[in-house]
Amino acid sequence: MTATESGARARLTATGFARELEVERFEPAPPGPGQVLIEVEACGVCYRDLIDRRGGFPFLQLPITPGHEAAGRVVAVGPPVDGAPAFEVGLRVGTMHRDSCGECAACRAGSTSLCASAAWVFGILADGGYATHLVAPARALYPLPDALAPEHAAVMHCTFGTAYRDLVTLGRLAAGERVVVTGANGGVGSAGVQIAHRLGAEVVAIVRDARHEPRLRALGADHVIVDPGSGFHKHPVLASRRAEVVLDATGASTFNSSLRSLAVGGRAVVVGNIAEQQASLNLGLVITSGLTIVGGSGATPAEMAALLALHAARPFDVPIEDVLPLESADLAQRRLLGGGVFGRLVLRPAQRGGS
Ligand SMILES: [Zn+2]
Ligand SMILES: [Zn+2]
């Protein structure tokens, strides 16, 4: 295809759910310096898309095309810039949450997902992947192997990549350690259960609903605690032996129990706050137990390469609830909003194949 071929994209024109996402025709822009044009094979519909749509981020630009979980092929390349990855036409790539400058302290330390100068934030500041075509800086993308199914390729960064960074880079989880995963039925949670199990850790999965238990045991959870009231640290499994690491994918409602589940010197990685509420913090507990609390979001290209190598050696179970056409973007978001979705809903904007 050429950059002048016409495409389609979903548009959010106002915050909230009173208006539907509209799907419109558009002419994809040619890629600028350091950018590429991607033909989008698939884009995940993430819970964060709903937070974006509600106006949860004050910097949201409108109108905008949602979606930060896109995978596709490079179909045009802009002029090269120093330091940016040189992706060629035909390469398969996936989006990270945002770009990075390569020069700030975070970038120089290898933590590109914490770049202080990131300006290209998909779905908030820049058009995202609910579209047949997407223009993006190469620095906001990572290479994907051809063997991955499009729907798996799309969601790999935001679920497994995030969980990998949280457990390995930030949590420093080691074989033989015990890890608690809250929100274990969610995208990051169920990925975290599988990665922790693969690392040789003992996994304690926390869910609100007992019907998730068999599935989580099959994914590698050694213990499943069903806790609708957030007192899971009192459960005999955790009261008898505290954990070295907590991956908290739920947030305010589980945070207190998460900290109380930790052994002395334990590490808490906070990755989600689904109710967008504030949590209170028992500082005495943090001080006397010497706890570390760190926030996680997204992953770097190096972390994605390590995660994809693990997946290639023995594929993880990537839960996909349904695959839908771009025209169903609004429907997909409303379905996620309604609850009860175990795996990801994925849009397939370009299904022509071979192009
Ligand atoms: Zn996401
Ligand atoms: Zn930077």
Q: How much is the pLDDT for 351?
A: 62
Q: How much is the pLDDT for 31?
A: 97
Cα 218 to ligand 2 centroid, rounded to whole Å: 40
Cα 169 to ligand 1 centroid, rounded to whole Å: 19
CA distance 220 to 210: 16
State which residues have CB under 5 angstroms from ligand 1, the bound ion: 46, 48, 69, 158
pTM exceeds 0.85: yes
CA distance 30 to 166: 36
Domains of the chain as residue ranges with CATH: 7-156+318-347 (3.90.180.10), 160-295 (3.90.180.10)
Cis check: omega of the bond before 63, within 30 degrees of 0:
yes
Q: How much is the pLDDT for 230?
A: 67
Cα 329 to ligand 1 centroid, rounded to whole Å: 15
CA distance 94 to 75: 14
Cα 321 to ligand 2 centroid, rounded to whole Å: 35
Cα 187 to ligand 1 centroid, rounded to whole Å: 9
Q: Could you give the dihedral angle defined by the CA atoms of residues 23, 24, 27 and 31, in that order, rounded to the nearest 10 degrees?
A: -30
Which ligand has its closest atom nearest to the C-alpha of 159?
1
CA distance 267 to 287: 13
Q: Smallest Cα–Cα separation from 271: which of 243, 248, 300?
A: 248
3-state secondary structure of 214: helix
Report mean pLDDT in 10-residue bins for the chain, 355 residues.
72 96 95 97 95 90 97 97 91 96 91 89 97 97 96 97 97 98 92 98 95 95 91 96 96 92 98 80 94 93 96 95 96 91 89 44
User: Between 47-54 and 329-338, two packed helices, what is the crossing angle to 10 degrees?
Assistant: 100
Which ligand has its closest atom nearest to the C-alpha of 191?
1
